[in-house]
Amino acid sequence: MSLLVVGSIALDTVKTPVEEHADLVGGSASYAALGASFFSPVKLVGVVGKDFPASEFDFWKSRKIDVNGVQRVDGKTFRWSGEYAWDLNTRETRSVALNVFEHFKPVLPAFYRQSDFTLLANIAPALQSHVLDQMEKPRFVVADTMDLWIETTRKDLDALLPRVDLLILNDSEARQMTKETSLIKAGRSIRKLGPRYVAIKKGEHGALLFGEDEFFSCGAYPLEDIHDPTGAGDTFAGGMAGYLAGAVKNVQFTDLRKAMIYGSVLASFTVEAFSLDRLRKLSMDEIKERYETFKLMSQFEVEI
């Protein structure tokens, strides 16, 4: 089965304390789609301007990413610029230019609408709902969100949540959303808002997974060198959704545990280079090797 991925496609400028690079391919959908493509064919939906490199379309096609849903329109591609502090955990946005993304309203090609698995990457909740309105009967829906939508479009987000099987957000967003300091309380509170499952990302400290009466915690893969954290969370979501679409028919909590480990593994590779550079060179053998190491570290005992 294939996975439908809808989100932003961008050109980024990223500065760390030791390096700065411009015109990097980024955006939530770019990272998520590439992460997912290791496990499942992907149908990608997004919008780019005339300045977006045509070579990226060729690369997507080489990775079984269907690009019939990617619109190329007059104007400039969505651009984001950010700078990281020395710990690489703190990030300041230097500039945002929505450009063609400002008026983006996803339109799904007819053969996309029957997709069984859907990842609504980090875009406005109203757009995420608009995508679901066009779909026939998705089997499993994953949605990512962020602090901006929690603060400015909470009504739209609340309307989306009952239509979502798995909501992914980070620890600060979970606390912002629930006003709870405890992530355990926050995760359980968010589940009551509608989603069947909730995954809370904790960056270098791993992730938490909540079901109705089930709970799972996994650490993060230990890394000595981190070059660019941009897109790690999007890759995590893509890895989770891609694994589910490629290997699971009826998603159970045990499947989500395994998907979370794969998502964490994919994210650990993302941060080893700027943009998508590490993922472009990544092999399935490397993923499986790191997965086995991760499994031993966390005493995770589900068989591949």
Cα separation values, 104 from 37, 46, 78, 100, 134, Å: 24, 8, 10, 7, 15
**Full-model pTM:** 0.95
* Residue-level pLDDT at 75: 97
Domains of the chain: which residue ranges? 3-298
Q: Beta strands 91-97 and 78-84: pairing type?
A: antiparallel
* Residue-level pLDDT at 89: 79
* Residue-level pLDDT at 296: 80
* Residue-level pLDDT at 205: 86
* Residue-level pLDDT at 299: 60
* Residue-level pLDDT at 97: 97
* Residue-level pLDDT at 204: 81
**Angle (CA) 136 123 247, round 5°:** 50
* Residue-level pLDDT at 298: 67
Question: Largest Cα–Cα distance of the chain, in whole Å?
Answer: 51
Residue bearing tokens 């690079």: 21
Gyration radius (Cα) of the chain, Å? 18
Phi, psi of 159, rounded to the nearest 5 degrees:
-70, -30
Fold of the domain spanning 3-298: UDP-N-acetylmuramoyl-L-alanine:D-glutamate ligase (3.40.1190)
Tokens of 130: 């608009």
* Residue-level pLDDT at 197: 98
Provide block-wise average pLDDT over 10 residues at a time, the chain (304 residues): 95 96 97 98 98 97 96 97 90 95 95 97 96 96 96 97 97 96 97 97 92 92 89 97 94 96 96 97 96 77 49
